[in-house]
Amino acid sequence: MRAALSQPGLLDRFPDLLPIEQYCAFGLLKSSGATNLDYADLWYGRHLHRASKLLSNARGTFLDVGCDDAFLSRGMLADQVQYVGLEPSAGSSEGLRVCGLGEFLPFADQSFDGVGFQTSLDHVFDYQLALAEARRVLRPGGRLYLATLLWTDKAQLYTDTAHFHHFRGAQVEAVLADGFEVEQVDAYVWKGNTHRFGVYMTAIKK
């Protein structure tokens, strides 16, 4: 599908694409711009440290939605955790991840003890559906682990080449309220910005 959607004239053919193809096309257009992933970046290193701390109590089976580098993500969890990563494309770590979209998780109900969105929720087109899917595949009492950005100003999504959403205030917590109980929320400065910050939270399935 990626090869087909990468062909010239994609936007000219956009109305003729199936909805799922339109979604993938949007994703390709977003990812064609500047990336915000830099393994050598100080702020990314701080994120990895905070994410590892967030995931320190994860146990049992764990689904990492939008895992990117699955080997790196797996390393943030305890050795005994059974890890599954999910990405729209296969990439180079097929042994640790499957292809799929956050809105349509290819797993049975109550399959996991933990589900994580480690800076991936704002890259999902329908984040409310993705969170509902996360709740579906979690066992009763299972935990959701979420790291994302919250914006207080300058939320100019039309100039953003990476994200589908600029979350504001308690927007994410409001969506979680229906099926989760927020357990912990920590916020940190992100890249020295004054218009956004990183938030790391855990929530338990009701």
Q: What is the pLDDT of residue 158?
A: 79
Please give the Cα distance from 4 to 88 (Å, whole number).
Answer: 15
- Between 173 and 30, the higher pLDDT residue: 173
| pLDDT greater than 70 at residue 15 | no
Mean pLDDT of the chain: 84
Look at residue 6 and tell me whether its pLDDT is greater than 90.
no
Full-model pTM: 0.82
What pLDDT, on a 0 to 100 scale, did the predictor assign at position 164?
87
In order of start, what are the domains of the chain with their CATH numbers? 1-32 (no CATH), 38-205 (3.40.50.150)
Query: Mean pLDDT across the stretch 118-124?
Result: 92
* Chain segment 33-52, per-residue pLDDT in tens: 555 555 567 877 888 889 99
Residue 33 confidence (pLDDT):
52
pLDDT higher at 91 or 78: 78
- pLDDT digits 0-9 by tens, 129-153: 999 999 999 999 999 999 999 988 8
Asked whether residue 19 carries a pLDDT value surpassing 70, the answer given is no
What pLDDT score does 54 carry?
A: 94
Q: Is 2 exposed, middle or buried (0-12, 13-18, 19+ CB in 10 A)?
A: exposed
Query: DSSP string covering 47-74, please?
Result: HHHHHHHHTTT--SEEEEET-SSHHHHH
CA of 98: how far to CAs of 25, 92, 142, 146, in Å?
Answer: 20, 11, 21, 20
Q: Which of 90-94, 109-113, 156-160, 200-204 has the lowest mean pLDDT?
A: 90-94
pLDDT at site 26: 64
Per the DSSP assignment, residues forming a β-bridge with 203 are: 144, 182
The pair of structure tokens assigned to 82 is 């059974």
Q: Is the pLDDT of residue 22 over 70?
A: no
